[in-house]
A and B are shown apart, each in its own frame.
Chain A
Amino acid sequence: GDSVTQMEGPVTLSEEAFLTINCTYTATGYPSLFWYVQYPGEGLQLLLKATKADDKGSNKGFEATYRKETTSFHLEKGSVQVSDSAVYFCALRGNQFYFGTGTSLTVIP
C-alpha cells in the first residue's frame, strides 16, 4: 500500500543554516505530495504541494520538487530562521491521505 517515510528528528540548526528534510514515498499511480507545518500547540498548516512529476512547490522560502524517479519530495530552505522552528510533515494523497511521522526542527539564534 501507499506510505510516506521521512527522516527522523529532531533536527537542530543555527539561524541562516541550510535545511533539508528528506521524504520518500511509495504509491501506486500518481499521487499528489504535500508538506505541512505544525507550530507548537496548533494544527497542521499546508506549506506547499506538488501534483505531478518535476513540479516544484514553494512557499515562505521553502521548496520541494516531486521526483518520480527517486520517489522523493525533500523539503529545503536556504536560510532558516528561529520562527521556522516547528514540526514538518510530509504527506501524499492517492486514494487516501498518508502522513509521515513528522520531523521536529529547532532553529537556534
Chain B
Amino acid sequence: DVKVTQSSRYLVKRTGEKVFLECVQDMDHENMFWYRQDPGLGLRLIYFSYDVKMKEKGDIPEGYSVSREKKERFSLILESASTNQTSMYLCASSLLGTGGGQPQHFGDGTRLSIL
C-alpha cells in the first residue's frame, strides 16, 4: 500500500513565524501535491511538483513556497505565518501517467493553528 506521511498531525505556531510542513511518500511517485482544506471551500491546491526541483503554482500559492530536493519528500513553507493560514493541510502523491486511472494518495493531514 502507498504510504504518505505528514510529519505532524497538529501544529500550533505564532504569527510571523516561518513554518515547515513535511510530507514523505514511499511509492516512488513522480507527482506530489499540497492542498488546504477549509469548511465550505473543499480542497484548494496550493502547489504541486512533478519531479525533483520542479514546482508549479496551484490555485492559492500566495504566502506559501515549496521545496522538493528528493523525489520522496515535498515540503510546504509558510514564509511568515498569518492567522488566515490556519487550516487543515493535506499532502498527496500520484504516479505521473494518467492511464489506468491512477489516483492521488493522501496523508492524514496536518491541522495547523496560527495564533
CB closest residue in chain B, given A104:
B39
Size of interface on B: residues with Cβ below 8 Å to A: 22
**Residue B84 at the chain A interface, CB threshold 8 Å:** no
Cβ-neighbour of B101 out of A41, A44, A45, A51 (below 8 A):
A51
Q: How large is the interface on A (under 10, 10 to 19, 20 to 34, 35 or more residues)?
A: 20 to 34
A46 proximity list for chain B (CB < 8 A): 103, 105
Helix, strand, loop or mixed for chain A's interface? strand
Which A positions have Cβ atoms within 8 angstroms of B?
A: 32-34, 36, 41-46, 49-51, 89, 91, 93-95, 97, 99-102
A selection of 15 A-B contacts at a CB cut-off of 8 Å is A34-B101, A42-B109, A43-B90, A43-B106, A43-B108, A43-B109, A44-B104, A46-B103, A49-B101, A49-B103, A91-B103, A93-B101, A95-B98, A97-B104, A101-B41
